[in-house]
């Protein structure tokens, strides 16, 4: 009987949203394959280990101690691999967050595994297990068979349904991997401004391009994003002009995102940009140029000046959301 192991990535002592989604995917796979579902948790995290049962895990492998106080690829990889060895895991699931991707890569090499990263669909009934992952930055989708064993899969945040919470207790097993050598370690974490959400995790993204005309214009974009409790995105043109930092860039040489709603303001929608946001559930485009490619692809396109339309939208949204 195979086993499915999920990396329980945490954020401020809670199971991270991407990890809840990995748990959701894991539970579905566990049901299909009739396999046990376990979590690998690193770091103290208060009494989180005992509480993880409610996300569907029957067992939690908890690694604590000085090696796990801060993230390191080497120690975390050792812990997850050890947990996997104990439960004889043949599928490892992680959220494709920054650290999830980091861990998945080292883990797959260590286990000589079949690796599929940033997966957007799992073919639940397939054999060998098949997944869909965007390639060429989303210009195409690759139906990929994982023929090797074990399998390491990272799933794109915001795509899979998170685990349904239930009343269930998990058995907690403490684990101390032996061969831990930490040669690269996080020394310092500098938190982004409060309330600033990363584009890869946001349900709503308000994004600005060349039409925003400068850093001042991005204040409008930020205001609208704030009103919608969303994140601020940007096109390559805006980033390369120095109007906003690179971490906001969406597109082929930036981040690939799948929000519920993407509002493109003053963005022409070049193929490289569309590659990064074309899988958004809903797209609104605001542009003075009705011939801009984004206007053809948007679900709702507003021909107009963003400097006039965006402030009105922001006011109306603030009113609507207050109600």
Partner 1 sequence: MNIAVLFRQVPDTEAVLKPDPAKPDAILEAEVKFILNPYDEYAVEEALRITEKSGGEAVGFCIGPERSEAAIRTALAMGLSRAVWVSEPAAVQADVITQSRILAAAVKGFSPSLILCGRELIDTAEDALAAAVAHFLDIPHVLNAAKITLTDGKATVLREVEGASLEIETQLPAAISTSKGINEPRYPTLIAIKRARAKEIKKVTLAELGLQVGQAKTRVASLLPPPPRAKGVRVEGEPAVVAGKGMEWLAGTAKVI
Range 266-305, binding partner 1 (CB under 8 A) = 270-272, 278-279, 281-284, 290, 295, 297-305
Nearer CB in complex with partner 1: 53/138 = 138
Residue with tokens 């009987």: 1
**Rounded Cα distance, 207 and 113, in Å:** 37
In angstroms, give the least distance from the CB of 68 to partner 1: 16
The yes or no reply on residue 15 touching partner 1 (CB under 8 A) is: no
Burial of 247 (0-12, 13-18, 19+ CB in 10 A): middle
Among 45, 63, 144, 207, binds partner 1 (CB under 8 A): 144
User: What three-state secondary structure class fits 229?
Assistant: coil
Cα Rg of the chain, angstroms: 21
Nearest to 277 by CA among 248, 247, 296, 257: 257
In the list 74, 82, 90, 223, the residue contacting partner 1 (rule: CB under 8 A) is 74
Residue 155 or 170: which CB sits closer to partner 1?
155
Q: Which is nearer to partner 1, 172 or 287 (CB)?
A: 287
Per CB under 8 A, 189 contacts partner 1: yes
192 belongs to the binding site for partner 1 (CB under 8 A): yes
Q: What is the torsional sign of CA 78, 83, 85, 89?
A: negative
Smallest separation (angstroms) from partner 1 to the CB of 92: 13
Q: Which residues in the 95-134 window bind partner 1 by CB under 8 A?
A: 97-99, 101-102, 104-106, 108-110, 112-118, 130, 133-134
How far is it, in rounded angstroms, from Cα 145 to Cα 131?
Answer: 7
CA distance 97 to 206: 21
State the minimum distance, in angstroms, from the CB of residue 299 to partner 1.
Answer: 4
């Amino acid at each position: 009987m195979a086993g499915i192991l999920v990396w329980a990535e945490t954020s401020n002592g809670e199971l991270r949203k991407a990890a809840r989604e990995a748990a959701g995917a894991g539970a579905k796979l566990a049901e299909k394959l009739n396999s046990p579902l376990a979590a690998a948790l690193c770091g103290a995290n208060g009494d989180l280990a005992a509480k993880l049962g409610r996300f569907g895990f029957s067992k939690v492998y908890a690694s604590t101690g000085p090696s796990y106080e801060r993230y390191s690829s080497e120690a975390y990889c050792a812990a997850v691999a050890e947990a996997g060895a104990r439960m004889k895991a043949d599928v490892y699931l992680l959220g494709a967050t920054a650290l999830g991707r980091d861990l998945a890569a080292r883990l797959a090499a260590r286990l000589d595994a079949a690796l599929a990263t940033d997966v957007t669909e799992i073919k639940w009934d397939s054999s060998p297990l098949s997944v869909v992952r965007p390639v060429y930055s989303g210009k195409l989708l690759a139906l990929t068979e994982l023929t090797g064993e074990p399998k390491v899969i990272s799933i794109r945040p915001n795509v899979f349904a998170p685990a349904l919470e239930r009343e269930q207790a998990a058995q907690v097993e403490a684990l101390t991997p032996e061969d831990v050598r930490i040669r690269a370690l996080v020394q310092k974490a500098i938190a982004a401004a409060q309330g600033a959400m990363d584009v890869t995790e946001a349900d709503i993204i308000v994004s600005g391009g060349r039409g925003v005309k400068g850093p001042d214009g991005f204040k409008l974009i930020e205001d609208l994003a704030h009103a919608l409790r969303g994140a601020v995105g940007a096109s390559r043109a805006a980033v390369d002009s120095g109007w906003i930092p690179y971490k906001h860039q969406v597109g082929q040489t930036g981040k690939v995102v799948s929000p519920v709603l993407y509002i493109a303001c003053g963005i022409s929608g070049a193929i490289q940009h569309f590659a990064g946001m074309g899988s958004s559930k809903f797209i609104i485009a605001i542009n003075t140029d009705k011939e801009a490619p984004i206007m053809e692809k948007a679900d709702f396109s507003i021909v107009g000046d963003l400097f006039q339309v965006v402030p009105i939208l922001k006011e109306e949204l603030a009113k609507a959301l207050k109600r």
